[in-house]
Chains A and B, each alone.
Chain A
């Protein structure tokens, strides 16, 4: 959360094109500048890898939630139909797992989807009252912003500005939070 929402003084390079910004990430990194984060109006494939972000573990969370759904459904059907009030309906035994496959499947999907989306929202620090730190309002429209935290870089501000411009930034702004 803190890595997404920074504080302090930032240098923001504004790019016009997704391919330019992707190439610029490599160039800026090679020049020895630490990039805080890149903001874009749509997903750019390979950008997270170029920035060195670790692979998301949402898949693991999704699997765990799915498993909890399966276990809940198994417990629910087993407890109600064979333990609490055993009943034979349609000649089927009081516990015939095949008949419960639809319920088990649906609860697995439901738990997985809700759990994963919840994890996504929490891990991004998102919520209805969250005010996002926007480095440039145009990044939800047509611009791509590369934010550089000046306090985390030893290179001077004007040098970083030069590096950003050289790598294709159309403008470089200062943003203070």
Chain B
């Protein structure tokens, strides 16, 4: 218990919150009736989901011909959306695992929402994998299951099979990590519950948690190992996604820079999405004392760093394409910047490389409006990055006679809209029925990182309990 913090550190929890305040502030949005804003937002999300689901159904019913694909461009919005969502799904586990290993205390206020975002984003990504199979009932063929075709197995040398393993492992481990983090908070809500139904439901999901010292010791040990496992896991996922491209021979894809470049891009877009969600949550649920400008600034610093890595990767790719002397590679890049899809390339460059550099200014980094707008811009840019990589490399490769253009149809667009409906429906359900901030973890940092007021955290006025010397030494 290092309760002595340097005075120069800015507090992570403001308003002089006590332990009871933490419970109250965060549990009350779970316990109360849904607010009007929530109901409106949820209704819109469900309508979008229903519209999107109908379009996805039609895509399957009619076949993938409803998309704008042709025999030259066989991957377009489907895989763009898939990679985009998987990328967004990188921030949650990064925050909860890597920042736990680095002992970054600010993670405690945002990890719950970020992990929820991760899980839902990975589900959205998986939905595009199912969609682009065209016949989703055959999705089981991607798994190494004994089957009726004799000794037919999946090809373990294929990056697409690696991806099946990577994404499903990532989803499972993230879900487990998130759920384990929820258990103590579910127990808190169980013990506060007034109605029998919620006591029963939260009781069942809290698995009989009682908060004994032994359980907590095991729990912390388990969290540490899970964090240690998730850290290489989170890096492996986008590495493997990038190998879907990098192990092929298409110009613009066949590069060894892809894994680190994709991972940096994933963290970049993931943090931008966390910013968007968290900025809304903190206002709607009045959590400004828990998710402070400090938190937002820290995340903006991560965005600036990863955005700059992505920028360096773009330039490196371009340089290597020329320096390699491979004319197909050089053409692929010249075609990206000046070919028929030049606008997508420059949208990507502007949104990912130029505008995030504004965060070098402290005022912009700490401005809520700027953060929100730039985060949206980053995610637009990251969508275009995937579009540029996929479509511009495919539409003009080795055989000029096969060159073609890709034009999205209504179903390309609607199936993308589906994923937004799906994501926001799940996220809104999460934000209503589960505590959006990890109460137990915030309580652990309250003594060290809270704004000091004349009341100690336990709600006892300073100077009381002089009988206990340890207490006074640690708190004052």
Contacts and interface: CB of A to CB of B under 8 A. Distances in A.
A46 B1 CA distance: 8
A48 B219 contact: no
Nearest to A110: B169
B167 to A, nearest CB: 9
Contact of B470 (A23, A110, A130): A23
A171 B346 CA distance: 67
Nearest to A126: B207
A113 B177 CA distance: 9
Contacts, number: 228
Interface in A98-119: 99-100, 102-103, 105-107, 109-110, 112-114, 116-117
Contacts of A134: 191, 210
B158 interface: yes
Contacts of A45: 1
Chain B, interface residues (CB within 8 Å), range: 35 or more
Interface string A15-48: 0111110111000000000000111111111111
B441 A42 contact: yes
Nearest to A166: B467
Contacts of A110: 169, 172-173
Given A102-B162, A113-B173, A168-B468, A123 B144 contact: no
Nearest to B444: A42
B409 interface: no
Contacts of A113: 172-173, 176-177, 226, 229-230
A48 B213 contact: yes
B156 A140 contact: no
Nearest to B162: A102
A131 B218 contact: no
Interface string A69-87: 0000000110011001101
Contact of B23 (A43, A51, A142): A142
A165 to B, nearest CB: 10
Contacts of A121: 207
Given A23-B471, A48-B217, A141-B23, A41 B207 contact: no
Interface stretch (B32-40, B275-283, B292-300, B452-460): B452-460
Contacts of A56: 217-218, 221
A120 B236 CA distance: 26
A58 interface: yes
18 contacts: A17-B457, A17-B471, A20-B465, A20-B468, A20-B470, A22-B1, A39-B210, A58-B222, A87-B155, A89-B158, A102-B166, A114-B176, A120-B219, A124-B215, A125-B208, A128-B204, A128-B205, A141-B191
Interface of A: 3-4, 16-20, 22-24, 37-48, 51, 53, 56, 58-59, 62, 76-77, 80-81, 84-85, 87, 89-90, 92, 96, 99-100, 102-103, 105-107, 109-110, 112-114, 116-117, 120-121, 123-134, 137-142, 166-168
Given A129-B208, A139-B211, 18 more contacts: A18-B447, A19-B474, A20-B470, A41-B23, A44-B213, A58-B221, A58-B222, A59-B225, A84-B151, A102-B162, A102-B166, A103-B156, A103-B162, A112-B225, A129-B204, A137-B191, A140-B209, A168-B465
